[in-house]
A and B are shown apart, each in its own frame.
Chain A
Amino acid sequence: MATKILTEHVAVPGIETFDVYRKQGGYTAVEKALKTLSPEAVVEEVKKAGVRGRGGAGFPMGMKWSFLAKPEGVPRYLVCNADESEPGTFKDHYLMKNLPHLLIEGMIVSSFALGANKSFIYVRGELMYVIHILEKAIAEAKAAGFLGKNILGSGYDLELVVQPGGGAYICGEETALLESLEGKRGNPRNKPPFPAVKGLYQSPTVVNNVESIATTPWIINNGGDAYAAIGIGRSTGTKLISASGHIRKPGVYEIDLGVSVEDFIYADEWCGGIRPGHKLKAVVAGGSSVPILPADKILTTAAGEKRLMTYESLSDGGFQTGTMLGSGGFIVFDETACIVRNTWNFARFYHHESCGQCSPCREGTGWMEKVLHRIEYGHGHQQDLDLLVDVAKKIEGNTICPLGDAAAWPVASAIRHFRDEFQWHIDRPHEATQPGAVYKGDMAASADRLV
Chain B
Amino acid sequence: MEDIKPQLFKVTVDGIEVEVEPGTTILQAARKIGPDVAPPAMCYYQPLKGSGGKCRACLVRVAAGSAKDPRPMPKLVASCITPVQDGMVVENESSPQVLEARKGVVEFLLINHPLDCPVCDQAGECDLQNFAFDHGAAQTRYEEDRRTFEKQDLGPYVQLHMTRCILCYRCVYTADQITNKRVHGVLGRGDAAEIGTYIEQAIDNDFSGNVIDVCPVGALTDKTYRFKNRVWFTKPVDAHRDCPTCSGKVTLWYRGEEVIRVTARKNEWNEVTEFICNTCRFETKKTSDWTIDGPTQVARGSVITANKYRADLEKPSFGQRLAAAQYKPIDDKRDTSQLSIQQLPPERFAKAE
Contacts and interface: CB of A to CB of B under 8 A. Distances in A.
Interface of A: 168, 185, 190, 192, 351-360, 362-367, 370-371, 374, 387, 391, 394-395, 397-400
Interface residues of B, number: 36
A367 B105 contact: no
B56 A358 contact: yes
A387 B52 CA distance: 29
Contacts of A356: 167, 186, 188-193
Contacts, number: 92
B59 A359 contact: no
A364 B101 CA distance: 13
Interface string B104-138: 11011101100000000000000000000000000
A182 to B, nearest CB: 14
B310 interface: no
A355 B189 contact: yes
B317 to A, nearest CB: 23
Contacts of A185: 186, 189
Contacts of B191: 351, 354, 356, 362-363, 365-366
Contacts of A371: 144
Given A351-B191, A371-B144, 6 more contacts: A190-B81, A356-B193, A363-B111, A365-B191, A397-B75, A400-B53
B190 A399 contact: no
A398 B190 contact: no
Nearest to A363: B108
In the complex, the 7 A-B pairs of residues with the closest C-beta atoms, listed nearest first: A394-B104, A363-B108, A190-B53, A356-B193, A370-B144, A354-B190, A356-B190
Contacts of B144: 367, 370-371, 374
A450 B156 CA distance: 72
Contacts of A367: 108, 111, 142, 144
Nearest to B106: A359
Contact of A358 (B53, B83, B100): B53
B54 interface: yes
Contacts of B167: 356-357, 359, 362
A198 B78 CA distance: 20
B137 to A, nearest CB: 11
A358 B59 contact: no
Contacts of B112: 363, 366
B105 A398 contact: yes
Counting chain B CB atoms within 10 Å of each CB, the highest count among A168, A359, A360 belongs to: A359
A391 to B, nearest CB: 8
